[in-house]
Amino acid sequence: MSESARILIVEGSQTQALRLSLLMEEQGWQPCWCPTPESALADVRERLPDLMIIDYFLPRMSGAELCRHVRSIAGAEHVPVLMLAPEDAELNGARQALGSTTDVVRKSDDPTGLLLRIRTLLEASSASGRSGEAFQPPSILVIDDSLTYLEHLANTLAKEGYEVAKANNGAKGLRLLGQRRFDCVLVDLVMPEIDGIEVCRRVSAMRPGMVEPVSIIMLTARENQEDLTLGLSAGADDFVGKSSDLTVLCARLRAVIRRKVYERENRRIREELKAKQLEALRARAEKEAAEALAAMAKELAEANQELESTNRKLRETQVHLVQTEKMASLGQLVAGIAHEINNPLAFVLNNLETVQSIIDRLTPEIEPHLGETSRRSLQKANTRLEQMREGLERVKQLVLGLRTFSRLDESEFKTIDIHESIDSVLLFLRHRMEPRIRLQKNYGIPGPVSCYAGRLNQVLMNLVANAIESIEGEGTITITTGQQSEHFFISVKDTGKGIPEEIQHRIFEPFFTTKPVGQGTGLGLAISYSIVQDHQGRIEVHSEEGRGTEFVVTIPLHFVPKAKQ
């Protein structure tokens, strides 16, 4: 739009006009020069420009007056105007005085600044969509029974830039009014059949159904108060006497058209304001609706989060109950087995001691009477008895280990030897390690620790069992304990297949498992994580796929349960 804009230059100096035209053409615009205000008004009526550059000093009319005349032309209300002010003009004052102009610059200003102003005005006008609109000249209907006067008046108005329709009687004029829209009707007061007063009455009756009511100017050759009163009462907007000089009539007509232009502009402004108000109300309603939806979404998200948290706690509670019941049942089973083994073991150990005591007492008496073969048999019997004692001691240690493990279901808070608990877990799982897995123990905790003994043993059992399952073939499990500041730690490290990096963040989730269906529930690590959390500690995993995994459990050395704080 701005690249091919038509710019009307109104400048009395041909040299100045030529300079501006060359400047416009270099920008790709289409300059058009009008040396007088009259020629400029005629040009605007014929075709609306995209922008006008008007000199402040013009012959017979100032630039400000020309701007006011341009604004009175229908369709030209929004054509941007750039006024060229004198060298000594105070621009702020000039802008206030020339309210109908769009901008004011000095003639001496740098051409670059002038071009920038023009381009800004063109872009703003193009954005508003008002420049370059097709110009529709005001339409006038002239009703007069005098054909000579009718032709003279119609020709004069056409030269003024109006679109003129003619009717030589009232009936024909009323028919034309019913067929098309007119901005103004000029009607003679005295006509045969339907006179001007009746035409005014009928046009006034038609006005309520018109989108833009037509204006009426009454024409009369006899100017008196009675006719003026009758015409205005019938609905005429003005009353003008006929004369050979139509200057007064044209001036009154321009005033009527200008008033209609202002009314049209006011109506447009009111509609725009109404539209903006409706848009503001709609935007406010949309904002309030959006805020309400956002609040509802937030409440729903919080409710979902709370529900998810409740469900997670419920699942964890169920897991704890199931695992606790399993460990309690297992503890009872192991305790029963240890008890059943312990009774015959005690019987055998006592009898072994009795037999050994008898043999030791009889040996000095009978040994001198024995031959070499019998003496060797007696020594062999003593050796076998010693081996039996060592075997029974191993069974006794196994029973003690089983009895220690049978306390895994204990949930009370107590002080324990953590190494003894680790050994009991390893004893219980030894059959799954030997002979393919080598066990290394690096114990470094200096003394007893306080914890929930049974639940911590459950963590150790889960970690060691997982380490055993991760080793395919031969491997090593290393268990390390130690103290760091006010915490003790237990490390279970294996040389197994490791955990893929992409799933390491999920291994503590309940029911997450990489084992085949039927071989794992995904509860072991979830339970272990929860137990360590209850001890106000943390559990960390360090793993590299194909090179093994290490779990490190860290718990405060002076841990105190919340219930006892």
DSSP 45-69: HHS--SEEEEESEETTEEHHHHHHH
Same domain, 90 and 152: no
For residue 94, pLDDT over 70 is answered with no
Predicted confidence (pLDDT) per residue in 228-255, tens digit: 888 888 888 888 888 767 888 888 888 8
Is residue 31 very low, low, confident or very high in pLDDT (cuts 50, 70, 90)?
very high
Same domain, 425 and 560: yes
Provide the domain count of the chain.
3
Same domain, 416 and 452: yes
**Is residue 428 one of the residues assigned to a domain?**
yes
- Please enumerate, as own/partner, the contacts of 350-358 that have beta carbons within 8 Å and a separation of 24 or more: 352/385, 352/388, 352/389, 352/392, 355/385, 356/385, 356/389
Spatial contact of 231 and 197, defined as CB atoms under 8 Å apart: yes
**Is residue 415 one of the residues assigned to a domain?**
yes
Looking at every residue in the chain, the average pLDDT score rounds to 81
Domain boundary among 188, 210, 244: 244
Q: Supply the pLDDT for residue 564.
A: 46
Same domain, 17 and 91: yes
Q: How far apart are CA 480 and CA 466, in angstroms?
A: 16
Residues 455-471 have a mean pLDDT of 88
Structural domain boundaries enclosing 40: 2-128
Spatial contact of 236 and 216, defined as CB atoms under 8 Å apart: yes
Domain boundary among 96, 128, 160: 128
Q: Which of 302-316, 374-388, 474-488 ranks highest by mean pLDDT?
A: 474-488
Helix (H) / strand (E) containing 105: strand 103-106
**Is residue 158 one of the residues assigned to a domain?**
yes
Q: Supply the pLDDT for residue 411.
A: 56
For residue 96, pLDDT over 60 is answered with no
Q: Which residues pair with 30 in a beta bridge?
A: 6
Q: Supply the pLDDT for residue 507.
A: 83
Q: Supply the pLDDT for residue 554.
A: 92
For residue 2, pLDDT over 80 is answered with no
Q: Supply the pLDDT for residue 213.
A: 85
Q: Supply the pLDDT for residue 489.
A: 93
**Is residue 284 one of the residues assigned to a domain?**
no
Same domain, 418 and 548: yes
Q: Supply the pLDDT for residue 117.
A: 82
Residues 288-302 have a mean pLDDT of 89
**Is residue 365 one of the residues assigned to a domain?**
no
Residues 24-48 have a mean pLDDT of 89
**Is residue 534 one of the residues assigned to a domain?**
yes
What CATH number did the domain enclosing 510 receive?
A: 3.30.565.10
Same domain, 556 and 423: yes
**Is residue 72 one of the residues assigned to a domain?**
yes
Residues 400-411 have a mean pLDDT of 55
Same domain, 415 and 559: yes
**Is residue 298 one of the residues assigned to a domain?**
no
Q: How far apart are CA 172 and CA 190, in angstroms?
A: 15
For residue 485, pLDDT over 70 is answered with yes
Pairing of strands 6-10, 30-34: parallel
Same domain, 87 and 17: yes
For residue 401, pLDDT over 70 is answered with no
Cis ω before 435 (30° cut-off from 0):
yes
DSSP 441-494: EE----S-EEEEHHHHHHHHHHHHHHHHHH--SSEEEEEEEEEETTEEEEEEEE
Which residue has better confidence, 174 or 243?
A: 174
Same domain, 423 and 557: yes
Q: Supply the pLDDT for residue 97.
A: 45
Same domain, 124 and 185: no
Buried b (16+ CB within 10 A) or exposed e, 227-241: bbebbeebbbbbbbe
Q: How far apart are CA 416 and CA 448, in angstroms?
A: 5
Residues 171-176 have a mean pLDDT of 90
Spatial contact of 316 and 510, defined as CB atoms under 8 Å apart: yes
Same domain, 198 and 238: yes
Is residue 316 very low, low, confident or very high in pLDDT (cuts 50, 70, 90)?
low
What CATH number did the domain enclosing 239 receive?
A: 3.40.50.2300
Residues 309-315 have a mean pLDDT of 80
CA–CA distances in Å: residue 562 to residues 413, 449, 536, 559: 11, 17, 9, 9
Is residue 549 very low, low, confident or very high in pLDDT (cuts 50, 70, 90)?
very high
Q: Supply the pLDDT for residue 377.
A: 82
Same domain, 54 and 153: no
CA–CA distances in Å: residue 448 to residues 79, 402, 414, 478, 487: 95, 21, 10, 21, 13
Residues of the chain with pLDDT > 90: what percent?
14
Domain boundary among 211, 244, 277: 244
Least confident window among 409-418, 453-462, 474-483, 553-562: 409-418
Residues 278-302 have a mean pLDDT of 88
Q: Supply the pLDDT for residue 565.
A: 41
Least confident window among 5-19, 22-36, 121-135, 419-433: 121-135
Q: Supply the pLDDT for residue 518.
A: 53
**Phi, psi dihedrals of residue 33, rounded to the nearest 5°:** -105, 130
Spatial contact of 78 and 50, defined as CB atoms under 8 Å apart: no
Spatial contact of 553 and 529, defined as CB atoms under 8 Å apart: no
CA dihedral 95, 101, 106, 111 (to 10 degrees): 140
